């Protein structure tokens, strides 16, 4: 997919499937992953139209940070084999080593992915010119469109409006921008939205503010949670947004408020990911909600709380 095509497609709900692991060995459970992708294709993406969303392989919910390069390529392969041409798929190529990011970008292009996704190199706080160089090196290595991710918490670097303007100017295949901000306005996201005609804009933490995000100009949004195992709930929000029925959309968000609050109640590293896996397990998609250490599996209290919430919503 060319950058201009990705810019048009990078809208709607961006789904990041978790990477299931086998209990004990912590190896990737290929069968469970394939089953989940098939479930999403049948229950969320059936009748897909441009702007409805796409799949992001090895996103943070896919625990790319616990996968080696070979495993990330394997997840890319499984996703593309399951999806084919039904829905656009982008691959997360985040890395502190630009060589790994370039290798993954080239591989994504080789197997026919729609684009690639990365934030600035992390751990040591980068300077602006280093961030520009990082993305230029990726851009020089692939013709695919690139989605830039801004996560101040993870990278210690904010992609400000000024930095984004430089990236648009200096990285020719830049197609989109995803902000990780739970409440619109906290990191100047509204200042960046003025660039929405130049790159696709997505709120990467729209689990809290899906409707206000769209009203302000976001074309896409990540819920990170219930769309993985309750896709019909996400479709209800998407349908309200398409119809510009903001009241209906807010009512649907309110319906899910207890679930959202539970999913993002901070207990430890990767907690919302483990609870997403727990939701997949309780809905019969996974055999277990195993996490790779040091991330912890859901505890007994979390398991019982999620069961109660799902029962209140009419499931289980």
pLDDT tens, position by position, 33-79: 999 999 999 999 988 888 889 999 999 889 999 999 999 999 999 99
DSSP 8-state code for residue 47 = T
Q: What pLDDT, on a 0 to 100 scale, did the predictor assign at position 184?
A: 47
Tokens, residue 5: 């095509």
Q: What pLDDT, on a 0 to 100 scale, did the predictor assign at position 203?
A: 84
Rounded to the nearest angstrom, the gap between the alpha carbon of residue 266 and the centroid of all alpha carbons in its chain is 19
Tokens, residue 189: 């996201």
**Of 255, 222, 218, 217, which Cα lies nearest the Cα of 236?**
255
pLDDT-derived band of residue 246, with 50, 70 and 90 as boundaries?
Answer: very high
Sign of CA dihedral 190, 196, 199, 203: positive
**Structural domain boundaries in the chain:** 3-243
Measured in degrees and rounded to the nearest 5, phi and psi for residue 4 equal -65, -35
Q: What pLDDT, on a 0 to 100 scale, did the predictor assign at position 155?
A: 80
**Of 192, 157, 156, which Cα lies nearest the Cα of 177?**
192
Read off the pLDDT of each residue in 209-218 and give the average, rounded to a whole number.
80
Instruction: Answer yes or no: are the C-beta atoms of 216 and 185 closer than 8 Å.
Output: no
Measured in degrees and rounded to the nearest 5, phi and psi for residue 259 equal -65, -45
Read off the pLDDT of each residue in 123-129 and give the average, rounded to a whole number.
84
Cα separation of the two ends of the chain = 40
Burial class (CB in 10 A: 0-12, 13-18, 19+), 176: buried
Neighbours of 194 (CB within 10 A): 12
Whether a cis peptide bond, with omega within 30° of 0, leads into 294 is yes
Q: What pLDDT, on a 0 to 100 scale, did the predictor assign at position 268?
A: 57
Report CA-CA distances (Å) from 196 to 124, 136, 152, 243: 30, 21, 20, 21
Read off the pLDDT of each residue in 122-128 and give the average, rounded to a whole number.
81
Q: What is the pTM of this model?
A: 0.93
pLDDT at 218 over 90: no
pLDDT-derived band of residue 207, with 50, 70 and 90 as boundaries?
Answer: low
Report CA-CA distances (Å) from 4 to 105, 269, 307: 17, 36, 43
CATH superfamily to which 3-243 belongs? Aldolase class I (3.20.20.70)
Range in 108-112, 150-154, 286-290, 297-301 with the lowest mean pLDDT:
150-154
pLDDT-derived band of residue 208, with 50, 70 and 90 as boundaries?
Answer: low
């Amino acid at each position: 997919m060319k950058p201009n095509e990705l810019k048009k497609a990078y809208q709607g709900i961006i789904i990041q499937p978790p990477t299931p692991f086998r209990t004990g060995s912590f190896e990737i459970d290929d069968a469970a992953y394939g089953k989940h992708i098939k479930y999403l294709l049948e229950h969320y993406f059936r009748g897909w139209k441009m702007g409805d969303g796409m799949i992001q392989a090895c996103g943070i919910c896919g625990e790319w940070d616990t996968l080696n390069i070979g495993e990330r390529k394997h997840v890319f392969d499984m996703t593309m084999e399951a999806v084919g041409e039904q829905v656009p798929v982008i691959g997360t190529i985040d890395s502190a080593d630009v060589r790994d990011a370039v290798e993954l970008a080239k591989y994504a292009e080789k197997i026919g992915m729609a684009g690639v996704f990365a934030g600035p190199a992390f751990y040591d706080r980068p300077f602006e010119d280093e961030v520009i160089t990082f993305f230029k090196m990726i851009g020089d290595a692939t013709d695919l469109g690139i989605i830039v991710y801004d996560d101040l918490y993870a990278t210690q670097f904010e992609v400000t409006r000024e930095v984004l303007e430089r990236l648009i100017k200096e990285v020719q295949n830049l197609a989109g921008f995803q902000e990780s901000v739970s409440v619109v306005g906290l990191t100047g996201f509204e200042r960046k939205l003025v660039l929405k005609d130049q790159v696709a804009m997505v709120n990467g933490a729209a689990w809290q503010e899906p409707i206000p995000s769209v009203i302000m100009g976001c074309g896409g949004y990540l819920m990170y949670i219930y769309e993985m195992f309750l896709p019909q709930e996400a479709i209800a929000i998407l349908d309200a947004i398409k119809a510009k029925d903001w009241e209906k959309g807010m009512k649907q968000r309110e319906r899910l408020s207890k679930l959202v609050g539970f999913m993002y109640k901070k207990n430890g590293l990767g907690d919302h990911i483990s609870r997403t896996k727990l939701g997949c397990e309780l809905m019969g998609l996974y055999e277990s909600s195993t996490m790779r250490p040091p991330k912890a599996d859901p505890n007994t209290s979390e398991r019982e709380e999620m069961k109660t919430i799902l029962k209140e919503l009419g499931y289980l």
